Amino acid sequence: MDRQELFARIQYPLPQHAISRLIGQLADCRIAWVKDLFIRRFIETYGVDMSQARQPDPGAYPCFNDFFTRELKLDARPIGEGLVSPADGVLSRYGRIEHGTLIQAKGQTYSLSALLGGDVSRAAPFRQGSFATVYLAPKDYHRVHMPMTGTLREMTYVPGRLFSVNSATANYVPGLFARNERLVCIFDTERGPLAMVLVGAMIVAGIETTWAGQVTPLSGRVQTTRFDEPIVIEKGQEMGRFKLGSTVVMCLGRETAFGDFDPEGNPISMGQRLGELPGTV
């Protein structure tokens, strides 16, 4: 058994939610010396580039969570043409959704229907479409933006585990992204349906959206909210954020011509062009 497999296996018996709640309380601590210590150590450990932050002074943030979800300077992430990345991180997998399954890692696939909360009718429009998975590392900018303009149709909270979502765990935990707690946001766009799936992970204290505030953690059942009043979010605008790192899985209802990226993983920035908008080729 190698180190990656061992790391994945030891997560199974851990009290994942209790650990995450405890870390969340610490991350929201507003005692100056405590939060300053955490922030400084974090910057040193992960090499965070504060020159891109709208507030570059680490001591100015009221708590670690505010630092972690820091806003960037207006010109830090130009928005490219076509379909763009919703977040900073690593483009870990992308391509076609085939027979209702997505690629998680080499030799690992998982169910589209399970990812979207187990509703077959919700998954149906995406079965012949495409997907892209972006893993956000600790040093990355942790706000999630729209890859194209969309009108929010519904939001579904799906309870689950809180495994780490790094490459080691993705290689050894079957159906990882469809097992973890997640928030599924379905948008209507001029190019067909778009699903933005914000996946929780170990020590992620919560997921927020721009229209509902913090959404997770909630109860132990699937909860769906439908929106009669249109909520339109333009391409490049923020739609949510993670309090500590995780993953975004983007599903599109039509086949997409992606650019030439390494299928094993590519560093990518929010707003960077991923390829043509679906339906234009």
In the residue annotation, 142 being an active-site residue is answered as no
CA-wise closest residue to 203 among 40, 62, 4, 28? 28
Could you give the CA distance from residue 163 to residue 105 in angstroms, rounded to a whole number? 15
Q: Which of 20, 113, 164, 246 is catalytic?
A: 246
In the residue annotation, 28 being an active-site residue is answered as no
Q: Which of 92, 130, 145, 164 is catalytic?
A: 145
Asked if omega into 217 is within 30° of 0 (cis), the reply is yes
In the residue annotation, 88 being an active-site residue is answered as yes
Could you give the CA distance from residue 145 to residue 270 in angstroms, rounded to a whole number? 7
Could you give the CA distance from residue 122 to residue 118 in angstroms, rounded to a whole number? 8
Q: Which of 88, 113, 140, 142 is catalytic?
A: 88
C-alpha neighbours within 13 Å on the C-beta side of residue 118: 11
- Asked if 162 and 204 touch (Cβ cutoff 8 Å), the reply is yes
Placement of tokens 């679906």 in the chain: 278
Could you give the CA distance from residue 281 to residue 37 in angstroms, rounded to a whole number? 51
Q: Which residues are catalytic?
A: 88, 145, 246
